[in-house]
Amino acid sequence: MKAGLLTFYHLHHYGAVLQAAATQRALASLGWDCETVDYFVNQDNRILKPPTSPGRAANDAYNALHYAALKRRARRFEDFSRANLRLTARRYGSLEELREAKLPYDLLVSGSDQIWNPTIFPDGRFDPVFFGAFSPLRKIAYAPSFGVARLPAGMEGELKEYLAGFSHLSVREPAGRDIIREAAGREARVVPDPTLLLTAEEWSSLAAERTVPEEYILCYGISRSEALEPYIRRLAEETGLPVVQLCGTRHKLHPKARMVFDAGPAEFLSLMRHAAYVCTNSFHGTVFSVVFQRPFFTAVAPAELRDPERSRTFSLLSRLGLADRVAGRESAAGLLDVPDWPAAEARLKAAREDAMAYLKAALADEPWAEASAPAREEGPLLADHALCTGCSACAARCPQDAISMVRDREGFAFPRVDPDKCVHCGLCTKTCPVLRSREPQSPPAAFAAWNKEADVRRDSTSGGAFSALADYVLEGGGVVFGAALDGKQRLRHIACFRKEDLWRLRGAKYVQSDLGDTFREVKKCLETRQVLFSGTPCQVDGLYRYLGRRPENLTTCDLVCHGVPSPGVWEDMARYIERKRGRELQTVRFRNKVEGWKNSHFTAVYDDGTVDTRPLFETEYGRAFGRALFLRPSCHRCPYASINRPGDFTLGDLWGLRPGELPEEQQKGVSLLLVNTPHASHVFDQLPLCRRPYSLERAVEGNPRLASPTAQPADRAAFFAAYAREPFDQVARKFCALPPLPLRAVGKVLSPEMKARIKRVLKRG
């Protein structure tokens, strides 16, 4: 039986050539005579190309400096392909040529790589050749990739038509399975990349002789990755090993790296096989680290960190129990930790056998059932790490005190279950807000509001509306719970029983608070008195889920939240500030109105009475906070970033006031107050506030977090990779320091469009 393989192989890219070779060998091991259809389209291997942009011109200049080595690399790719790939005798360049060819196959196999990615072809459409559209033969798919999380609009029908001739469908990533399910209503198997179908011994037989005699750290970056650089630096420092960089990017990942420009596929395999450590952001760099069992760290794109279930790298490493090798994640392994290779190899062997069983069944046109995973005892179901808000409702609700809130490597608290105490009652699962849907509420009423007492308003972040609400509850014999900094600048929720202590709760604090036993304390206080609870919307929702009801004597106030920064990062920043000044912090105000509401200052008061005050966004912490550099992962997917609020009230700054609108109040600060519930409406009528009805649409326009979450910055992973590996002073200087004065001056002159254009050019370079 003879099969024709439709895949990429011409491009001088290690993964493309090696996956094609692996697919052919896998088919041959199952008794099939396989050759790759030599279809050459949209592939340009020229070392020097016409300079169509400044970035391309810079790339050509760089390539010209290393032309001889790059020429050797190109020759080695061609030599490897001739030696290890069976190709059709003729090269084809179009769908029409293939229709006329009458190729002598019993079956067509759409192979791996991004052959089904419409965005990489010049017309932005699918290439029908890679679906075998030139032939009526039966077709199967082994691990093709769409390369995108979702199809461009309007392409679902086209895909459904192309897939009609396939008897068996498989894909490389979960995202591909979802695309096929949605577009064609069919199920596709998620199978390993073909390079994983061969063993380390089989790949070793294709590798070149060892090219670096001593031990070394191998770096292979297909693009610049700041998340990898701290790992490379620290590995080099702690092991004393030299750094060898296999060039996929012009950027040098380590200042003393030996650059390798001339490696073909065989040399790539040799470098991977003999490395002491590997640092990579290439999928196939990750694959061969696993195959050859080299201790490694891999970096992934920001989009993959935000949505790991759609990532091919996460899919692979999670299946093998190696997800802790992803650089810049909170769960990343220790620098010199050795992966559990026996366990990973056992999982890889099972995945390989399962994939070969699928491929054998597909070739024979037989049904195939995925092997069921062995049953294992599960712990309680809690929110996924990327979605957990840290509200602590699960810990508070646990009757066995089996759950504690423990900080991860990024400095955020997450629930940790003690298996010896857990009785699997399921109360934590029932309580978790993330695992429960929220009922939609009626649209709130919006108001501009400010406190009538000038001193209170001056000490508040905006208009002092919270203080009026707190006074109302305290005057009725109630208690107020809110966030306050302690003497070590740790932010904790505390109970306030007297007006004289309310100053501790006033003002914005740009860090996530530690709730401790607050929920249990609230519940106890509700038995005898009125309670006001103020916090982020996820904390308010967590309180209600913990209580299981909305008590009449509980009033809640959630905040228009930009996202919560890491407590660990803030506390390290506080120590960093103290080291720079040579004295201890006594207190901090994140938003001090010394120059008015719209130019808030970050003010630090030290133990000797001295004071520093600067505009917030001209400080290191303020600048990084404004960039959302170290927010909790869930903040970037926040379900509360809408007008469907959990609290009775929502408080924030009334941004978006026009010039001349409330002119006497803008300098002093104005609160945005949303009245979300009938209970809040009743309380609002009792408050001694100055107020003006305000358009809800304008409120959302001025406060975007009432409509959508804060976007995750591209360098978040790089920041946390450095934070986990390097001294904080060094991290702060690199990521939080203000740009030099000339750059700041230029930044004020350039338009946003020009800035974006410059960034694109620099990125290409």
How confident is the model at residue 47, as a pLDDT?
72
List the single range of 38-42, 289-293, 493-497 with lowest mean pLDDT: 38-42
How confident is the model at residue 666, as a pLDDT?
87
Which 3 state secondary structure label does DSSP give 2? strand
172-207: pLDDT as tens digits = 988 899 999 999 999 999 999 999 999 999 999 999
Nearest to 5 by CA among 68, 83, 88: 88
Q: Does pLDDT of 379 surpass 90?
A: no
How confident is the model at residue 654, as a pLDDT?
94
Mean pLDDT of 490-501: 96
Q: Is 412 within 8 Å of 512 (Cβ atoms)? A: yes
Q: How far apart are CA 59 and CA 248, in angstroms?
A: 12
600-613: pLDDT as tens digits = 999 999 999 999 99
Pull the structure tokens for residue 598. Answer: 């719209």
Nearest to 94 by CA among 56, 161, 40, 51: 40
Pull the structure tokens for residue 152. Answer: 């461009």
Q: Long-range contacts: 513-519, Cβ < 8 Å, 24+? A: 513/483, 513/539, 513/567, 514/405, 514/413, 514/490, 514/567, 515/391, 515/392, 515/396, 515/405, 515/539, 516/392, 516/492, 517/396, 518/481, 518/493, 519/392, 519/393, 519/396, 519/543, 519/546, 519/547
Top-confidence residue, 599 or 560: 560
Q: Long-range contacts: 209-212, Cβ < 8 Å, 24+? A: 209/270, 210/270, 210/274, 211/260, 211/263, 211/267, 211/270, 211/271, 212/244, 212/271, 212/274
Q: Does pLDDT of 470 surpass 60?
A: yes
Question: Predicted confidence band at 630 (pLDDT cuts at 50, 70, 90)?
Answer: very high
269-313: pLDDT as tens digits = 999 999 999 999 999 999 999 999 999 999 988 777 777 766 788
Percent residues over pLDDT 70 in the chain: 94
Pull the structure tokens for residue 569. Answer: 């990062």
303-318: pLDDT as tens digits = 777 777 667 888 899 8
Tell me the CA end-to-end span of the chain in Å, nearest whole number. Answer: 48
Question: Predicted confidence band at 61 (pLDDT cuts at 50, 70, 90)?
Answer: confident
Distances (CA, A) of 499 to 62, 343, 593: 68, 60, 22
Per the prediction, the chain carries an average pLDDT of 90
Q: What's the whole-model pTM score?
A: 0.76
Question: Predicted confidence band at 438 (pLDDT cuts at 50, 70, 90)?
Answer: confident
Which run of H or of E encompasses 168?
strand 166-168
Mean pLDDT of 380-392: 93
Q: How many CB atoms lie within 10 A of CB 302?
A: 18
Nearest to 417 by CA among 443, 386, 378: 378
Q: How far apart are CA 554 and CA 530, in angstroms?
A: 6
Q: Is 392 within 8 Å of 515 (Cβ atoms)? A: yes
Q: What is the DSSP letter of 48?
A: S
Q: How far apart are CA 715 and CA 225, in angstroms?
A: 9
